[in-house]
Structure 1
Amino acid sequence: MPGKLTKYRSKRDPSRTPEPVPGTPSATPGGDAFVIQEHHARSLHWDLRLERDGVLVSWAVPKGLPADPGTDHLAVHTEDHPMEYLTFQGEIPQGEYGGGTMTVWDSGTYETEKWSEDEVKIVLNGERASGRFVLFKTRGDNWMIHRMGAAVRDPFPDLAPMEPTERARPPRNVADHAFEFAWGGRRLLVPIDGGRTEAAREHPWLRELAESFGSRTAVLDGELVTLGGAELLVFYDLLYDDGHALTGEPYSVRRAALEALDLAGGHWQTAPSWPGEFAPVRQAAKEQGLPGVVAKRLDSPYEPGPSKSWLFIPS
């Protein structure tokens, strides 16, 4: 047992970090505790820590625990941590090892099915993390983590954007629609998983948005527009939220879920929407030089491609 925390201590100065730096390892009564911490360091990741012989054996998991057995996630084996880390959360100063904000994402107990130098099979019993997992070594400190059993979330939707059909006049049943500006921008679907989005390859500023979601999964629908000389991404639909596909839900339900996210940043915002108010929205579109108005049926599901449930009425 002596020496298990040597590497941990060598990377930390107790006078510079609020992290626990104990003298000797300890243990919980059952010896089977685990914690997962969400760590907003230089790169967002989740730290999985399993109690073993008085310390917390640790892996940094960049995308968090896999929700689908068909997709394994990288898990980087790091130094053993002290048992006091089971409840640690706080701000590690920038410039220090692991500098950034750390919070407890979940904790509980686990069962060991196998533990060897290159394979660890466990059953997690937590509030947010539960089920059977296997960690297996690939090369050096790199491991992979695999979920065993059924997926615990809906599959991500893989579809084309829903497009409005053009017509000259507003719908007769105005009260059954929400009216929004037609922005005239470029359509963009933004999938977010594990605090990351593929859309950031083309638009690096979206990394900040994705990281703000933490472990929450989402697929956002919107448009890239230029307003006041600056590029802005306006979101007006939510196709997937926190493990659940919303494409079959009415637009009113998807819109409420989108607004609950309270998306507002330097490069993105939630587009305004006005149920049952065509005339003032069309007038505002004219005054702002926008192409027109989009009428969206409140009871419409998300239909890929052109749809008569969304109508574009030019200004």
Structure 2
Amino acid sequence: MRDPHTFIAPMLAVTVPHPFDDVQWRYEIKWDGYRCQIHWTDHLQIFSRKGESLLRQFPDLSDVAKVLDRPVILDGELIAWENGKPSFSALQRRHVGEHRVIVFDCLYAEGEWLLTKPLKTRLEYLNNVVSTQGKIVVADGVVEQGMALWKAAREHGLEGVMAKHLNSPYLPGKRVRTWQKFLVMNRQWAVVPIISEAEDGQWMWWVSGDNAGGHVMTKLLAPKNWNVDVSSLVREKRGTDIVWRLPCPIDVEVEYRELTAEGKMRHGRIRQWRTSN
């Protein structure tokens, strides 16, 4: 028998490349924040994805207890709201008062564990035990219209869409295909003027907005089919890093999730590249 006071490893989704429509699936906005789990028993606990207390980092979340009136365990996402949309950068700054918890699943309610029940049943419990108020927002969703929701997410600059099969049970700690996510990704051409060596001997490309490498937007592992002889390259020191300057910068197209306020690419990956002349 599980203890309602104890953290439950969250269920995870697989990433798929394309949105789809299906009458057996529910679609929700994927919020760009920190996964969290709310336990309201004889006291409030809010856990991170790894089971650490988020109340220590975000003490204003203690206000969540004001809108809960019965023992419950909720799965959700902690976000920070800035300029009309969620901001991961604002969340990292931990400004008091900007935080909301988007709750999208109910794991325990009315003295009963709900993990083996289908998602559609858990959602009924969710809407019975909590409502949107204070720092809690109950997630909206649509059935079947996954492509339309993904297009709306892209138009509004949101992270993407979660797709969940309505009959899926909750499998703690498992990454399963009955939960899927399709992300809104951005693409940008930039240059790689300097490189460094990673601990495992692979080359790191320093992706920059200029040939001098003055503003480094991200550092990515070089493609496996790329190599270089550094004996003829200019060696420099950047902070604590030893780097080499390339005689001809590499043009690179990077796919990334978000450009931060500091101009850094989050979750970037190389799509294609070519050597500049």
TM-score (norm 2): 0.53
2:44 and 2:119 mapped to 1: Cα distance?
Answer: 26
Aligned to 1:313: 182
Match for 1:167: what amino acid?
Answer: V
CA distance in 1, matches of 2:33, 2:63: 22
1:221 aligns with 2:75: yes
Alignment check: 8 A CA contact 1:166 1:313 kept: yes
Contact 1:181 1:285 in 2 (8 A): yes
Tell me which amino acid in the other structure corresponds to 1:165: V
Mapping 1:197-276, distance limit 5 Å:
197=45, 199-214=54-69, 216-228=70-82, 230-276=98-144
Point out the structure with max Rg over C-alpha: 1
Shift of 1:211: 4.0
**Structure 1 residue runs without a partner (length 5+):** 1-152
Alpha-carbon distance between aligned partners in 2 of 1:217 and 1:311, rounded to the nearest angstrom: 29
Aligned equivalents of 1:213, 1:266: Cα separation in 2 = 10
**Which whole-Å CA distance do the structure 2 matches of 1:211 and 1:164 have between them?**
31
1:158 CA displacement: 4.0
Query: Aligned-pair distance for 1:224?
Result: 1.1
Separation of aligned partners in 1, 2:125 and 2:56: 26
- Quote the offset at 1:258 in angstroms: 1.0
The question of whether the paired residues in 2 share the 8 Å contact of 1:182 and 1:291 is answered with yes
Q: Alignment partner of 1:282: what SS?
A: helix
Alpha-carbon separation, structure 1, partners of 2:133 and 2:59: 14
Following superposition, the deviation at residue 255 of structure 1 comes to 1.1
The answer on whether the counterparts of 1:294 and 1:313 sit within 8 Å (CA) in structure 2 is: yes
Number of the residue aligned with 1:166: 15
Deviations 1:113-156 (A, max 9, x none): xxxxxxxxxxxxxxxxxxxxxxxxxxxxxxxxxxxxxxxx9632
The 2-side partners of 1:204 and 1:253 are apart by 32
Secondary structure of the 2:44 match is: coil
Deviation at 1:261, TM superposition (A): 2.8
Q: Match of 2:63, as an amino acid?
A: E
- Corresponding letter in the other structure for 1:286: R
> Structure 1: how far apart are the matches of 2:2 and 2:125?
17
Across the two proteins, how many residue pairs are aligned to each other?
Answer: 161
Structure 1 residue 189, shift from structure 2 partner: 0.7
- C-alpha distance in 1 between matches for 2:57 and 2:40: 14
Return the TM-score normalized by structure 1. 0.47
- Are 1:176 and 2:24 counterparts? yes
Residue pair 2:74, 2:108 contacting (<8 A) in 1 also: yes
Contact 1:180 1:273 in 2 (8 A): yes
Give the secondary structure class of the aligned counterpart of 1:236. strand
- What code does the residue aligned with 2:71 have? T
Letter in 2 for 1:314: L
Alpha-carbon contact 1:196-1:211 (below 8 Å) kept: no
Conserved in 1, the CA contact under 8 Å of 2:63 and 2:134?
A: no
Unaligned runs of 5+ in 2: 47-53, 84-97, 185-277
1:284: how far off?
A: 1.4
Gap change, CA 1:262 and 1:190, over 3 Å in 2 = closer
SS of residue in 2 equivalent to 1:286: helix
Partner of 1:180: helix, strand, or coil? strand
C-alpha change, 1:238 and 1:272, in structure 2 (3 Å) is same
What fraction of aligned residue pairs are identical, expressed as a percent?
Answer: 27
The Cα shift of 1:207 comes to 2.8
1:171 Cα shift?
Answer: 4.9
